[in-house]
């Protein structure tokens, strides 16, 4: 086993995602402790000049240009077999959810998913994962000190992964890439048209605690009174109560308003990914143990059905 930490970087329109930098920064930190290298693997066409990894491995092939889980796993697995890294880091994104467990199964090494912290204790890899919707943290050790880790976006500073200066190596794609059973058809880009919640300085954000579509009016009235837009957690947009464009989180929008006011949102890791950097976070949730209170600046366990009308009344 080598002592390297391998990061699978991700890109959108040939640009690296923020999380890619975060993971490379963490990889440098960890690899430093093990006297290994921080190695970034870039599949398909992407500009890696800003990556501060020790080494960047590039692999190009027609079937890697557009992401498909099968081809990317084939490529990733081939590189892992060849270089035998100590640790493989992948973002806990759609790609990570495909390839993290996929690689663990294929490579026969453990995976720790939903990681928000990773430390090296001598040769051991100790991972802290967010489980049970963020209500608990699990501290786990990867047996044998070699495996895969999928990491929640925003867990590490991105700056440490920036600055360039990596040695670049071009890799030969594995032959099996030509035999993929999965083919890319097309990309669907975000729809515009609705309120752009990423532009609004004030957001009134509602979650499953709102209970029904009719009750959304309560939030809308308060939002109107203070000139805010209404955003939501995923269950609200899944139910079709608000358009998808209003969803905040991992699979929704990333927002950074001056104030983010939540009503009936538990604070699952997937939601926090989208709003944790807001200037001011105020949370209303009747469950005093809701994880949202670990990230909010101010909180209240008042029932939202009492609080929202009171708020609207005060502003009017």
Partner 1 sequence: MADMIVLLRQVPDLVEELELNDDSTDVEREFMKFVLSEWDDYALEEALLVKEASQGSVTVVALDDPDVDQVLYTALAKGADKAVKLTGSEEGWIDSHQRARTIASWMRNQTYDLVLTGVQSVEDIDGQVGMLLAQELQHPHVSVVVSVETKNGSARVTQEFGGGRFSELDVQLPAVLGIQQSRQAPRYAPISRVRQAQQAGGLEEVPTEVSGGSGLTVRRLYAPESTDHAEMLEGSADEVADKIIELLRSRGLIK
Ligand X SMILES: Cc1cc2nc3c(=O)[nH]c(=O)nc-3n(C[C@H](O)[C@H](O)[C@H](O)COP(=O)(O)OP(=O)(O)OC[C@H]3O[C@@H](n4cnc5c(N)ncnc54)[C@H](O)[C@@H]3O)c2cc1C
Among 37, 54, 221, 270, binds ligand X (CB under 6 A): 270
Nearest-angstrom CA–CA distance, 148 and 18: 20
Q: Shortest Cβ distance from residue 97 to partner 1 (Å)?
A: 4
Nearest alpha-carbon partner for 93 in 158, 148, 151, 134 = 151
Helix 304-315 crosses helix 216-226 at what angle (to 10 degrees)? 30
SS3 298: strand
Q: Interface mask (CB under 6 A) for ligand X, residues 70-109, using x and -?
A: ----------------------------------------
Q: Burial of 191 by CB count in 10 Å (0-12 exposed, 13-18 middle, 19+ buried)?
A: exposed
Q: Site mask, partner 1, residues 203-242, x = CB under 8 A?
A: -----------------------xx----------xxx--
Whole-angstrom distance, CA of residue 22 vs CA of residue 201: 26
- Considering only CA atoms, which of 150, 156, 173, 160 is closest in space to residue 57? 173
26 contact choice in ligand X, partner 1, none (CB below 5 to 8 Å, kind-dependent):
none
- Count the site residues for ligand X by CB under 6 A: 28
Smallest gap from residue 65 Cβ to partner 1 (A):
12
Q: Which of residues 41 and 73 has its CB atom nearest to partner 1 in the complex?
A: 73
Taking residues 227 to 266 in sequence order and writing x for each that binds ligand X by CB under 6 A, - otherwise, the string is ------xxx-----------xxxxxx-----------xxx
Residue among 46 and 53 whose Cβ is closer to partner 1: 46
Between the CA of residue 268 and those of 122, 253, 307, what are the distances in Å?
32, 15, 22
Of 62 and 243, the one with the shorter C-beta distance to ligand X is 243
Query: What span, in angstroms and rounded, lies between the C-alpha atoms of 41 and 38?
Result: 10
Q: Is 175 in the site for partner 1 (CB under 8 A)?
A: no
Question: Least distance in Å: CB of 172 to partner 1?
Answer: 23
Q: Which stretch binds partner 1 (CB under 8 A): 26-34, 46-54, 163-171, 278-286?
A: 278-286
Element (H, E) at 168: strand 167-171
- 58 scored as a contact of partner 1 (CB under 8 A): no
d(CA 216, CA 133): 24
Spatial distance between the Cα atoms of 27 and 157, rounded to a whole number of angstroms: 12
Task: Determine which residue in the list 14, 188, 193, 199 makes contact with partner 1, applying CB under 8 A.
Answer: 188
From the list partner 1, ligand X, none, which binds 159 (C-beta under 5 to 8 Å, kind-based)?
A: none
d(CA 263, CA 208): 9
Q: Which does 271 bind (CB under 5 to 8 A by kind): ligand X, partner 1, none?
A: ligand X
- Letters for 193-212 (x = contact with ligand X by CB under 6 A, - = none) are --------------xxx---
Give the DSSP H/E element, type plus range, for residue 38. Answer: strand 38-43
Nearest CA to 278 out of 231, 238, 310, 316 is that of 231
Span from 1-9, 42-50, 53-61, 293-301 in contact with partner 1 (CB under 8 A): 293-301
Q: How far is the CB of 89 from ligand X (least distance, A)?
A: 18
Helix (H, G, I), strand (E, B) or coil at 189: coil
Q: Does 286 bind ligand X (CB under 6 A)?
A: yes
């Amino acid at each position: 086993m080598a002592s390297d930490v391998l990061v699978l970087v991700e890109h959108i329109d040939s640009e690296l995602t923020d999380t890619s930098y975060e993971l490379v920064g963490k990889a440098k930190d960890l690899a430093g402790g093990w006297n290994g290298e921080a190695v970034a693997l870039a599949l398909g066409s992407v500009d890696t000049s800003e990556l501060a990894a020790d080494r960047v491995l590039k692999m190009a092939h027609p079937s890697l240009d557009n992401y498909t889980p099968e081809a990317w796993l084939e490529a990733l697995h081939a590189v892992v077999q060849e270089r035998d890294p100590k640790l493989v880091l992948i973002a806990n994104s759609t790609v990570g959810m495909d390839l993290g467990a996929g690689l663990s199964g294929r490579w026969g090494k453990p995976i720790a998913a939903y990681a928000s912290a990773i430390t090296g204790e001598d040769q051991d890899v100790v991972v802290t994962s967010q489980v049970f919707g963020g209500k608990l943290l699990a501290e786990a050790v990867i047996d044998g000190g070699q495996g895969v880790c999928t990491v929640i976006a925003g867990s590490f500073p991105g700056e440490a992964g920036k600055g360039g200066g990596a040695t670049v190596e071009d890799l030969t794609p594995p032959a099996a890439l030509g035999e993929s059973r999965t083919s890319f058809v097309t990309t669907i880009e975000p729809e515009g048209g609705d309120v752009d919640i990423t532009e609004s300085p004030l957001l009134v954000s509602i979650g499953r605690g709102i209970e029904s579509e009719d009750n959304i009016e309560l939030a809308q009235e308060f939002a109107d009174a203070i000139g805010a837009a209404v955003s939501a957690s995923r269950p609200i947009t899944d139910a079709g109560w608000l358009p998808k464009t209003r969803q905040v989180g991992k699979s929704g929008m990333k927002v950074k308003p001056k104030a983010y006011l939540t009503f009936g949102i538990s604070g699952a890791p997937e939601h926090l990914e989208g709003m944790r950097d807001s200037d001011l976070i105020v949370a209303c949730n009747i469950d005093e143990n809701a994880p949202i209170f670990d990230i909010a600046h101010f909180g209240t366990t008042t029932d939202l059905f009492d609080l929202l009308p009171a708020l609207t009344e005060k502003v009017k």
